[in-house]
Amino acid sequence: MNFQFENLSEFWLMAGHGPYVWACYAVTALVLIYLVVAPVRRRKKFLQQLARQQRITEREQQKAQEAS
């Protein structure tokens, strides 16, 4: 089995193209991570706001019942 690169240093440098290649991989990884994390955080925030709104509504209903 023959490898494209003789050692790890050549693998990282990739005949001078290494910085470009690894930067592309890094950007792609960051975008994919963002595409997973952003909706999860947005959903969590939405559920917190919904719970807060529900507590406020319940308190208002209790006050209305007590006033009656």
Query: What would the pLDDT profile of 18-33 be if each residue is shown by its tens digit?
Result: 999 999 999 999 999 9
Please list, in sequence order, all residues whose beta carbon lies within 8 angstroms of the beta carbon of residue 11, skipping any fewer than 6 positions away: 4, 5
Predicted confidence band at 5 (pLDDT cuts at 50, 70, 90)?
confident
The maximal CA–CA distance of the chain, rounded, in angstroms, is 86
Q: What is the mean pLDDT of residues 42-48?
A: 98
Confidence at residue 53, expressed as pLDDT on a 0 to 100 scale: 98
Tokens of 19: 């910085």
As a whole number of angstroms, the distance between CA 61 and CA 65 comes to 6
Q: What is the mean pLDDT of residues 30-41?
A: 98
Predicted confidence band at 12 (pLDDT cuts at 50, 70, 90)?
confident
As a whole number of angstroms, the distance between CA 17 and CA 30 comes to 20
Helix (H, G, I), strand (E, B) or coil at 56: helix
Q: What is the mean pLDDT of residues 39-65?
A: 97
Give domain limits for the chain. 8-67
